[in-house]
Amino acid sequence: MQMTVLEVIKRSAEFLEKKGVDSPRLQVELLLAHVLHLPRMGLYLNFERVLSPAELDEVRNLVKRRGQREPLQHIIGTACFWGLEMKVNNQVLVPRPESEQLAELGWQFLNGIQGTPPLALDFGTGSGCLAILLAVKSPGARVVAVDISPEALAVAQENASRHSVQERVEFFQGDGFVAVPAGRRFDLLVSNPPYIPSAEIATLDPEVREHDPRWALDGGAEGLDFYRRLAREAGEFLRPGGRLMAEFGDGQAPAIRQIFEHEKWIVEAVKADYSGRERILVVRRAD
């Protein structure tokens, strides 16, 4: 059976809507653009194009996977982060738009440092999106990125090469700060740690709970375990005047502020993300 681009979009969007997928038409258009090697807006110039049998089979397979709530980014193999295409799979957290604000604050801080080349640490790098964006936007900076997962680091290293910053981003595998090379001190520490309370993971959308790695989501009983660790251990890794910037979940700001103040950090700011929700903590050590 022959089908045009427009017919595929309409029928597939109806299918995904029945499966409970958000923004079904947009999802179909992105999948179809991937199969046809077109920009999404290019579909609008090709509504009457008839798909070949092979193209139609591929689109049907991908739409079926999306209907089973496999994330779009896993299906096409990439996610966009501040305009950069990052490889993703089920070994890394799919980069979220909220984290773009953390990245922007980080590179703005690095670009304001005078004198010696700035050095940044990405704690729990996952796909490497934060570390790589810092390196891209701060050409004078060097970045160290650590993660407990060797599979995640393999993805991150591939992304660093994809964006030609592999010479300025170093990756180390290990549990937290034990992975940081001895003697290193940083101007900036950024982190998007796991912050979902353990019991809430079962309530998340299927795309997240069934496909993102649990270790990248589970922040312990209250979702605060990694902030306690950062507050206790990160201070000795910062240079004088350095900053720690960490993303957190909805409603966690008061508890996280208290955790860091208890460990003698100075809370410099609690920043909102682009949607207006409190999302990023900025702290420093007392001089």
Does residue 1 have a pLDDT over 80? no
So what's the pLDDT on residue 210? 92
C-alpha to C-alpha distances, 99 to 9, 44, 106, nearest whole angstrom: 31, 31, 11
C-alpha to C-alpha distances, 213 to 118, 194, 207, nearest whole angstrom: 31, 10, 11
284: part of which helix (H) or strand (E)? Answer: strand 278-285
Confidence tier at 119 by pLDDT (50, 70, 90) = very high
So what's the pLDDT on residue 129? 97
pLDDT tens sequence across 56-70:
999 999 999 999 999
Region 195-218: what's the mean pLDDT? 93
Reduced to 3 states (helix: H, G, I; strand: E, B; else coil), residue 161 is helix
Region 221-230: what's the mean pLDDT? 96
C-alpha to C-alpha distances, 271 to 107, 129, 188, 250, 253, nearest whole angstrom: 15, 20, 16, 12, 10
Does residue 236 have a pLDDT over 90? yes
DSSP string over 231-264 = HHHSGGGEEEEEEEEEE--TT-HHHHHHHHHHTT
Q: Residue 172 and residue 169: Cα distance in Å, rounded?
A: 10
pLDDT tens sequence across 126-164:
999 999 999 999 999 999 999 999 999 999 999 999 999
User: Rounded to 5 degrees, what are φ and ψ at 279?
Assistant: -140, -25
Q: Which two tokens stand for residue 123?
A: 């704690």
Report the percentage of the chain scoring pLDDT > 90.
91
Mean pLDDT of the chain: 94
Confidence tier at 98 by pLDDT (50, 70, 90) = confident
- Domains within the chain, CATH numbers bracketed: 5-68 (1.10.8), 82-285 (3.40.50.150)
Confidence tier at 232 by pLDDT (50, 70, 90) = very high
pLDDT tens sequence across 172-205:
999 999 999 989 999 999 999 999 999 999 999 9
So what's the pLDDT on residue 114? 87
Strand partners, 270: 281
User: Rounded to 5 degrees, what are φ and ψ at 132?
Assistant: -70, -40
Q: What count of other Cβ atoms lies within 10 Å of the Cβ of residue 92?
A: 29
Confidence tier at 287 by pLDDT (50, 70, 90) = low
C-alpha to C-alpha distances, 130 to 57, 121, 228, nearest whole angstrom: 36, 10, 21
